[in-house]
Amino acid sequence: MNVQRSFMTASGGEKVTRESGTLYLVGTPIGNLEDMTFRAIRTLKEVGLIAAEDTRQTRKLLTHFEISTRLVSYHEHNKEASGVELIRLLEEGQSIALVSDAGLPAISDPGVDLVKAAVEREIAVVPIPGANAALSALIISGLPTERFTFLGFPPRERKGLNEWLLRNRKQQGTIICYESPHRVVKTLTAMLEQWGDRPVAMVRELTKRHEEAARGTISECLEWLSEHSPLGEYCLVIGEGSDRDAAGLDEDERPWWSELDIAEHVSRYEEETGDRKEAIKRAAVDRGLPKRDVYNEIMRK
């Protein structure tokens, strides 16, 4: 059993000094620097060390707020070696602030491993709240907020994505996930195939000048993306499906091409018709995509 009292006092009210330092998880702006809190600035100035996912990005933030605290790197590729050293410093009594590129650290972020290691060693972990893209997108989506599930980034490979969609098809409440501009059409198309035409909000550039929320059904959003090239990282907020959607389609109700990628889909039609243009046209109709997008996808193979 591990019980942490972040701000310890004895029964008489006097402050108790810890032997180890404190790991502060500091939220940083997701775009607009005015979202930086007074407490975050003070904490970053007072700690002995700041561990950042991208030191170049964080240095810009520190320079803007005139913060001169020593900065070190902690990211997915060095987290094992760097994490051991950060834990050692914390155990020796040094306090450290952990920040991500933007938003709250430890959300779809290697910081979760450092937090786990600190908790296992009974080092105090204290949140310094700030901006968060997932929750910001949720509250402007117009979709229900009383129950929601955050799923991070969907898998990149078709097989993994299909398994992910199948596993989460019966999730109750609103679903939130992140997606890159290069993959958002693929992911929404797969969602349409597996989950049906659910309501969705595509939110991008949160807190920035070009902040945008496109709301509609999945098919409407795909049509929008066919006319407006995806730009910036997307936060997808997907509403709960109908009873039939939530239960999913039976194997014999799914389209024959649901397990194929676009290139394989076109190839099947090309074998059948002997005409590549016709094959592209048919595959585009099946998937609800513009022919141009299907053509561009198979040309990348």
Phi-psi region of 54 (alpha: psi -120 to 50; beta: other; left: phi over 0): beta
Residues 52 and 122 in one domain: yes
Residue with tokens 């993994």: 160
Assigned token pair, 263: 């290139």
User: In the prediction, which pLDDT does 56 show?
Assistant: 95
Distance CA(179)–CA(193), nearest Å, equals 17
Q: Is residue 53, in this structure, part of any structural domain at all?
A: yes
Q: What is the pLDDT of residue 228?
A: 93
Does residue 6 form part of some domain?
no
Give the total number of structural domains in the chain.
Answer: 3
Residue 78: predicted pLDDT: 93
For residues 124 and 20, is the Cβ–Cβ distance under 8 A? Answer: yes
Choosing from 78, 102, 131, the residue where a domain stops is 131
- Do 67 and 102 belong together in one domain? yes
Question: Do both 159 and 235 map to the same domain?
Answer: yes
Q: Give the CATH number of the domain where residue 213 resides.
A: 3.30.950.10
1 in any annotated domain: no
Domain that holds residue 301: 255-301
> How far separated are the first and last CA of the chain, in Å rounded?
53
* CA distance linking residue 109 with residue 20, whole number of Å: 24
Q: What is the pTM of this model?
A: 0.77
Task: Give the pLDDT confidence score for residue 251 in this predicted structure.
Answer: 52
DSSP designation for 106: T
C-alpha span between 228 and 261 (Å, rounded): 23
Together in a domain, 79 and 59: yes
Q: In this structure, are 34 and 64 located in the same domain?
A: yes
Residue 203: count other Cβ atoms within 10 Å of its Cβ. 25
Query: What pLDDT, on a 0 to 100 scale, did the predictor assign at position 298?
Result: 81
Token pair belonging to 194: 């597996």
Residue 45 forms part of a structural domain:
yes
pLDDT at 222: 95
- Residue 281: the pLDDT is 86
Looking at the structure, do residues 230 and 149 belong to the same domain, yes or no? yes
Q: Specify the CATH number for the domain of residue 68.
A: 3.40.1010.10
The pLDDT assigned to 14 comes to 54
* pLDDT per residue rounded down to tens, the chain (301 residues): 777 877 765 445 555 556 899 999 999 999 999 999 999 999 999 999 999 999 999 999 999 999 999 999 999 999 999 999 999 999 999 999 999 999 999 998 899 999 999 999 999 999 999 999 999 999 999 999 999 999 999 999 888 898 899 899 889 999 999 999 999 999 999 999 889 999 999 999 999 999 999 999 999 999 999 999 999 999 999 999 865 554 445 555 567 887 788 888 988 888 888 888 888 888 887 877 778 888 888 877 5
Query: In the prediction, which pLDDT does 162 show?
Result: 86
Inside any domain, residue 70? yes
CA dihedral 212, 163, 249, 146 (to 10 degrees): -50
Note the pLDDT of residue 77.
92
